[in-house]
């Protein structure tokens, strides 16, 4: 890793100051504000979090050129990977989408019957797509990973299925902002319309990082475990991926 990336010795307050959007990530780890002068290492120790994984998330969300290689993945404690991704799903579904919906319904009420209906229908379809996407991951991908960690094999590598069905939720948000830009009059609702647009942009940026976590962290980790599983079935001792009994017990995130 490059020296420009966040490290365990840095103060958490300095890390958050460098990227204020991490304030929205901290609750997914159960980290409240009020950490004073503590370092990232000290905060992680206080809350029982693997500092290497927390730093990985912070760096993914902050640096566009940050991408862990295979050695980084092998050294990282991924015991919180699935709980973290589930916590992100709850954040999107229970906080961000309802926040956007409240503003959108009000804006749609002042957009006329035609465009107001289009706006609400588009959002409802999008929300259902998000729910379906997250539901598929939580019912198929995450249990599959847990089965691999438990030493259980599957006939078809789920990483192939996951790649085929990993739809781009960010493009739909871009389409939604285009509807707002082009067809919703903003003379009477300038402040609320701007707040709605910025809320959608914030969600879009967060989802891009979330997709990066799944595509560049989750999937490569699953590939490693699948490769290891194949090697073990073929009695190949050359496997550096941690065995199930070496993976720490998962901690649920609130």
pLDDT per residue as tens digits for the range 194-232: 999 999 999 999 999 999 898 888 888 888 888 876 655
List the chain domain ranges: 12-66, 77-246
Around Cβ 56, how many Cβ atoms within 10 Å? 24
Confidence of residue 247 (pLDDT cuts 50, 70, 90): very low
240 has pLDDT over 50: no
Closest CA to 50 of 84, 23, 20: 84
Contact 21, 205 (CB under 8 A): yes
Give me the pLDDT at residue 235, please: 43
Predicted confidence (pLDDT) at residue 151 exceeds the cutoff of 80: no
- Pair 97, 103: CB distance under 8 Å: no
Place of tokens 């190949």: 236
Q: Which residues share a beta bridge with 115? A: none
Tokens of 63: 């640096």
Lowest-confidence pick of 52-61, 211-220, 237-246: 237-246
| pLDDT for residue 111 is more than 90 | no
Q: Are 116 and 133 in contact (CB under 8 A)?
A: no
Rounded to 5 degrees, φ, ψ at 11 are -65, 140
Cβ burial of 94 (10 Å; 0-12, 13-18, 19+) is exposed
| Mean pLDDT for all residues in the chain | 84
Percent of the chain with pLDDT over 90: 56
CB 76 within 8 A of CB 221: no
Given this model, what pLDDT does residue 234 score? Answer: 53
For residue 163, pLDDT beyond 90: no
CA angle centred on 65, ends 10 and 195, rounded to 5°:
80
Band the pLDDT of 150: cuts 50, 70, 90. Answer: confident
Quickly count: other Cβ atoms within 10 Å of residue 9's Cβ.
9
Most confident of the ranges 59-68, 153-162, 164-173: 59-68
Helix (H) or strand (E) holding 53: helix 51-62
Single pTM value for the model: 0.84
């Amino acid at each position: 890793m490059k020296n420009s990336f966040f490290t365990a010795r840095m103060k958490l307050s300095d890390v958050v100051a460098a990227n204020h959007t991490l304030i929205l990530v901290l609750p997914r780890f159960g980290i409240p504000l009020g950490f004073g002068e503590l370092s990232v290492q000290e905060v992680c120790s206080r809350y029982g979090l693997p500092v290497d994984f927390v730093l990985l998330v912070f760096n993914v969300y902050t640096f566009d050129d940050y991408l862990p290689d295979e050695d980084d993945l092998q050294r990282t404690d991924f015991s919180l990977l699935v709980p973290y991704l589930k916590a992100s799903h709850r954040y999107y579904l229970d906080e961000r989408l309802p926040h956007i919906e409240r503003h959108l319904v009000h804006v749609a009420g002042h957009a006329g019957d035609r465009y107001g209906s289009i706006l609400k229908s588009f959002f409802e379809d999008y929300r259902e797509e998000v729910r379906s996407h997250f539901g598929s991951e939580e019912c198929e991908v995450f249990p599959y990973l847990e089965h691999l960690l438990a030493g259980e094999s599957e006939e078809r590598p789920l990483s192939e299925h996951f790649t085929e069905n990993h739809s781009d939720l960010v493009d739909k948000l871009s389409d939604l902002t285009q509807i707002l830009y082009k067809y919703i009059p903003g003379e009477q609702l300038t402040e609320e319309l701007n707040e709605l647009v910025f809320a959608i942009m914030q969600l879009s940026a967060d989802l891009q990082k979330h997709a990066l976590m799944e595509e560049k962290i989750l999937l490569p980790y699953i590939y490693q475990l699948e490769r290891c599983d194949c090697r073990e079935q073929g009695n190949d001792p050359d496997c550096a991926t941690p065995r199930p009994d070496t993976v720490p017990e998962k901690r649920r995130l609130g």
